[in-house]
């Protein structure tokens, strides 16, 4: 039984190598793609006309308040670790667009308490723009929020033009604002 | 201060990595210089690793218990409101902890394997240890450098985010660890197979030795999959238990090849056949287990299960997977020919050929599931489009294969090794086959109108009858030769053939399970209606009358509770109260299905949205025989436990001599 058999290459060996190579290439290619891209049925549709309480006060924030402006609506929460990563991007972005009256940033504080949110902002730096409160996640349902953080770009005419899932980078932020600014 | 506790965990895990590296080096030195002292050192290192990793896991669990939100993983996956049970199980609530648990199982199994097989397998042991140490290193590097659950944050968070609400259920709390245990369980047979390959050892030693490991891994994997289905059915409220989701498929693939392996090792044990094939199967099973982890954890596939998608980690797992596959399949291609023995399948009607067909069907099923799971990925990579392969594809293609497997389940165990004749087959199977046809015909009169369902019913009857008749024949023969009563004959037969009778019990359990699947799959009734008070709806043998809906309160939730009265055809009556709950702390809304569970089927009522005052969209299911799935599972568990009572015969070192089968029907289950 141990006598050496002639070393012939069998068909199954070729097949096995072929299948494995194919799968490795497939997975490697699959890793490169943008898994965060989830086609949203909301893109191109009018944004839900919300009316929510302003964080840390009793005032209301309505979508119609921002008519004629591009609205960057950013979902955040004090408990969300990735929100820390994008915090400086938002601060920088809001500063860069501070003079542009056609662009309005808006935070939406998601499933959080006013106290926790406030101490988060105290620590990380306060947004130079208001945040609305979505403590129950009702508004998140309307916008189909998939994970935290998530950012929606609403055009001047109130159409959802783009969205981004996950932490923003300055490049993404600028590119999407440009894209939605160009929309009619 | 518990901040330092988590640092102890990190230290212990880091030390474990160093020890695993030491173990590998020591094994290599011992092989080079035949210095057994080094092998002893490696052994101690691997056993110590189990202790260290237990400590590592403990520090994480303890941080959950004491609500230490300076540990990032704890802060992200628990909350001060979370009950103790879920704080304990939150260890595997997300990516980092899940892999830590994976590693812990691996370390535990490694330690046990090194302890119990040390004396009996001195020649394989170095390679077994090398393989397992390498696997440990692969996981530890990942955990320590890319997916570290010991990370601290300063300042600590005041309170944690919550555990994923889906995981806050006792049914689901234990689904992931059971599944992982199954995945990791295959690592021991895998390591022994690698040892057999390296040594060019062609006997039956490694399959016999690892038989109980294989059974253990198989039954935990089976249970893990079924636990997931059970939870989906009772908690998710969509009335089903299996959706062919990519992640479900990822757990099914190693199960299919593992089941093939479980059967084919019998041929190696009894007839010294399929040596290379068995090595291929166990490598594939283990690789598919890793692939399952890769698919779930890398976010390559879009799935409801992919909670934490991270391409960087995905790249590492992919590299690890490639390394495991290249080394193990490479060894198989390079040295596989040395395993091939002279034995051949001598006759097409024999146990071994039945096992061959069984293997072909299981592997074909695995290929189908793999193709269906990866097809969307391939299409997206090639064309950029997004497609999904849904249940109809899988159901259509898998059903005929499963029917073939059921048929073999009846034939295989009853056909003797080496050779049978067609005439013998006729004598053996004519009566059960005839009765089965009768059952199938009767079923068409009782409402079965789908070909697959009718065939399934007939085949289940056939397998059941054939198996029972075979047992009866054996008992009668035994009674004749020993003059005992039938009950003591049965006990004596079963207790001397644990593998065969354990296998029979498992097969019976599978039949029960299939009855449940066929019943709930083909005969289910589903209606979605908007119900006003006093409105009636029919489901199976039940008439439902919607009474009212109103607010109600629980300890930590408020709910809209509906009252629905039911009346069975036979006059029995009762009330169901499905509800929709809102948990204010997390703002989560859950639907609580109301289920009237009986032996014959489940009446399953789920609330949808309330439309106008007092009326509500309601989904009503009649799921016949669905409980049989869980009953079948219990029977399978019982059978495997019985089969595991058979100890592996002692084979010392490489002196394993292939014992040719003498009895015709000695071993059914491995």
pLDDT digits (tens, 9 = 90+) for A87-107: 888 999 988 888 888 899 999
B205 contacts in chain A (CB < 8 Å)? none
- Predicted confidence at residue B466, as pLDDT, reads 92
- Predicted confidence at residue B425, as pLDDT, reads 82
- Predicted confidence at residue B50, as pLDDT, reads 97
Give how far Cα B180 sits from Cα of B13, B184, B303, B395, Å: 19, 6, 19, 26
Mean pLDDT of chain A: 82
Contact B337 A7 (CB under 8 A): yes
Contact B325 A20 (CB under 8 A): yes
A28 contacts in chain B (CB < 8 Å)? 318
3-state DSSP of B184-211: HHCHHHHHHHHHHHHHCCCCCHHHHHCH
Q: Write down the ipTM of this complex.
A: 0.71
Å between A30 CA and nearest CA of chain B: 6
- Predicted confidence at residue A2, as pLDDT, reads 43
Q: pLDDT tens digits, residue range A27-58? A: 877 776 555 455 567 777 888 888 899 988 88
Rounded average pLDDT per 10-residue block, chain B, 670 residues = 78 96 94 86 95 96 90 85 85 85 96 92 91 95 90 78 69 84 95 92 82 94 92 78 83 95 89 86 94 70 48 78 93 84 76 90 93 82 72 85 92 82 82 90 84 91 92 89 86 87 93 92 85 85 88 79 90 89 69 87 86 78 91 94 78 40 35
Q: Is domain A51-181 annotated with CATH 3.40.30.10?
A: yes
- Predicted confidence at residue B618, as pLDDT, reads 86
Q: What CATH number should be reported for the domain whose range is B525-624? A: 2.60.98
CB atoms < 10 A from the CB of B158, how many? 15
A135 contacts in chain B (CB < 8 Å)? 587
- Predicted confidence at residue B667, as pLDDT, reads 38
Å between B46 CA and nearest CA of chain A: 31
Q: Which of A30, A33, A75, A142 to mutate to test the interface with B (most CBs of B within 10 A)?
A: A30
- Predicted confidence at residue B299, as pLDDT, reads 56
Give how far Cα B561 sits from Cα of B488, B534, B586, B610, B611, Å: 55, 16, 20, 11, 15
- Predicted confidence at residue B338, as pLDDT, reads 80
State how beta strands B588-592 and B579-583 pair: antiparallel
Interface of chain B toward chain A, CB-CB under 8 angstroms: 72, 75-76, 157-161, 200, 202, 294, 298-302, 306, 309, 311, 314-315, 318, 321-322, 325-326, 329, 332-333, 337-338, 340-342, 374, 377-378, 380-381, 386, 584, 586-587
In angstroms, rounded to a whole number, what is the distance separating the alpha carbons of residues B197 and B365? 27
C-beta of residue B461 within 8 angstroms of C-beta of residue B406: no
* Residue B174 token pair: 């234990």
- Predicted confidence at residue B246, as pLDDT, reads 79
- Predicted confidence at residue B305, as pLDDT, reads 44
C-beta of residue B20 within 8 angstroms of C-beta of residue B45: yes
- Predicted confidence at residue B111, as pLDDT, reads 96
Separation of CA A152 from chain center: 7
In angstroms, rounded to a whole number, what is the distance separating the alpha carbons of residues B309 and B94? 11
Q: pLDDT tens digits, residue range A138-152? A: 788 888 776 778 899
Per-domain boundaries in chain B: 1-165, 421-523, 525-624
Say if A11 is an interface residue toward chain B (CB within 8 Å): no
- Predicted confidence at residue B455, as pLDDT, reads 92
Of B311, B318, B322, the CB nearest to A35: B311
């Amino acid at each position: 039984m141990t006598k050496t058999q002639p070393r012939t290459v069998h068909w199954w060996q070729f097949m096995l190598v072929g299948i494995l190579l194919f799968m490795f290439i497939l997975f490697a290619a699959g890793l490169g793609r943008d898994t965060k891209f989830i086609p949203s049925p909301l893109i191109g549709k009018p944004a839900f006309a919300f009316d929510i309480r302003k964080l840390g006060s009793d005032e209301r924030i309505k979508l119609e308040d921002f008519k004629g402006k591009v609205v960057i609506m950013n979902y955040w929460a004090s408990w969300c670790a990735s929100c820390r990563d994008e915090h400086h991007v938002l601060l920088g972005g809001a500063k860069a667009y501070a003079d542009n009256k056609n662009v309005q940033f808006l935070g939406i504080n998601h499933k959080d308490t006013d106290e926790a949110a406030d101490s988060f902002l105290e620590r990380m730096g306060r947004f130079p723009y208001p945040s609305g409160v979505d403590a129950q996640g009702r508004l998140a349902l309307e916008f189909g929020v998939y994970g935290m953080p998530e950012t929606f770009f609403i055009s001047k005419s109130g159409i959802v033009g783009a969205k981004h899932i996950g932490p923003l980078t300055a490049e993404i932020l600028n590119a999407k604002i440009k894209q939605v600014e160009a929309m009619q | 201060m518990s901040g330092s506790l988590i640092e102890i965990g990190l230290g212990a895990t880091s030390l474990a990595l160093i020890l695993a590296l030491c173990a590998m080096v020591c094994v290599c030195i011992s092989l080079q210089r035949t210095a057994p002292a080094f092998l002893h050192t490696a052994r101690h290192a691997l056993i110590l690793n189990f202790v260290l990793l237990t400590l590592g896991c403990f520090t994480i669990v303890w941080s959950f218990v004491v609500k230490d939100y300076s540990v990032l993983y704890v802060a992200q996956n628990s909350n001060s409101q979370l009950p103790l049970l879920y704080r304990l199980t939150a260890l595997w609530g997300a990516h980092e902890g899940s892999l830590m648990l994976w590693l812990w199982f691996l370390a535990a199994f490694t330690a046990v394997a090194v302890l119990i097989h040390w004396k009996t397998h001195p020649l394989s042991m170095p390679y077994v240890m090398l393989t397992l140490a390498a696997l440990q290193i692969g996981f530890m590097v990942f955990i320590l450098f890319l997916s570290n659950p010991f990370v601290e944050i300063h300042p600590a968070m005041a309170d944690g985010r919550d555990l994923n609400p889906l995981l806050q259920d006792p049914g689901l709390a234990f689904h992931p660890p059971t599944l992982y245990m199954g995945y990791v369980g295959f690592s021991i047979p895998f390591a022994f197979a690698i040892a057999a390959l390296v040594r060019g050892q062609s006997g039956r030693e490694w399959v016999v030795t690892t038989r109980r490991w294989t059974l253990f891994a198989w039954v935990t994997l089976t249970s893990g999959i079924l636990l997931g289905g059970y939870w989906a059915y009772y908690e998710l409220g969509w009335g089903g238990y299996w959706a062919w989701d990519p992640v479900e498929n990822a757990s099914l693939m190693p199960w299919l090849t593992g089941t093939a392996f479980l059967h084919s090792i019998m041929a190696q044990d009894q007839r010294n056949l399929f040596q290379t094939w068995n090595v291929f199967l166990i490598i594939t099973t283990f690789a598919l287990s890793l692939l399952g982890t890769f698919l779930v954890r890398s976010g390559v596939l879009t799935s409801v299960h992919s909670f934490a998608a991270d391409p960087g980690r995905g790249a590492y797992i992919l590299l690890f997977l490639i390394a495991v596959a290249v080394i193990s399949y490479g060894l198989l291609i390079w040295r596989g020919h040395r395993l091939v023995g002279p034995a051949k399948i001598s006759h097409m009607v024999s146990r071994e050929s039945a096992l061959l067909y069984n293997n072909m069907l299981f592997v074909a099923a695995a290929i189908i599931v793999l193709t269906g799971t990866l097809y969307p990925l391939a299409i997206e990579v090639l064309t950029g489009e997004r497609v999904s392969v849904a249940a109809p594809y899988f159901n259509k293609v898998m059903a005929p294969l499963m029917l073939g497997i059921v048929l073999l389940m009846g034939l295989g165990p009853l056909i003797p090794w080496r050779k049978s004749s067609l005439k013998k087959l006729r004598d053996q199977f004519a009566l059960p086959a005839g009765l089965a046809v009768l059952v199938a015909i009767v079923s068409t009169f009782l409402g079965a109108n789908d070909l697959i369902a009718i065939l399934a019913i007939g085949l289940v009857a056939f397998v059941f009858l054939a198996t029972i008749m075979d047992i009866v024949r054996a008992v009668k023969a035994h009674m004749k030769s020993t003059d005992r009563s039938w009950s003591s004959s049965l006990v004596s037969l079963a207790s001397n053939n644990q593998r065969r009778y354990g296998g029979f019990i498992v097969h019976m359990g599978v039949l029960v399970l299939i009855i449940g699947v066929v019943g709930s799959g083909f005969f289910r009734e589903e209606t979605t209606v908007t119900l006003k008070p006093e409105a009636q709806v029919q489901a199976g043998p039940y008439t439902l009358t919607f009474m009212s809906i109103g607010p109600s309160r629980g300890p930590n939730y408020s709910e809209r509770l509906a009252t629905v009265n039911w009346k069975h055809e036979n006059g029995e009556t009762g009330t169901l109260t499905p509800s929709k709950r809102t948990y204010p702390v997390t703002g989560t809304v859950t639907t609580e299905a109301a289920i009237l569970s009986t032996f014959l089927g489940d009446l399953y009522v789920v609330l949808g949205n309330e439309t106008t005052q007092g009326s509500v969209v309601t989904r009503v299911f009649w799921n016949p025989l669905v409980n049989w799935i869980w009953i079948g599972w219990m029977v399978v568990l019982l059978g495997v436990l019985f089969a595991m009572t058979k100890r592996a015969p002692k084979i010392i070192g490489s002196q394993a001599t292939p014992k040719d089968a003498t009895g015709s029907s000695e071993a059914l289950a491995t």
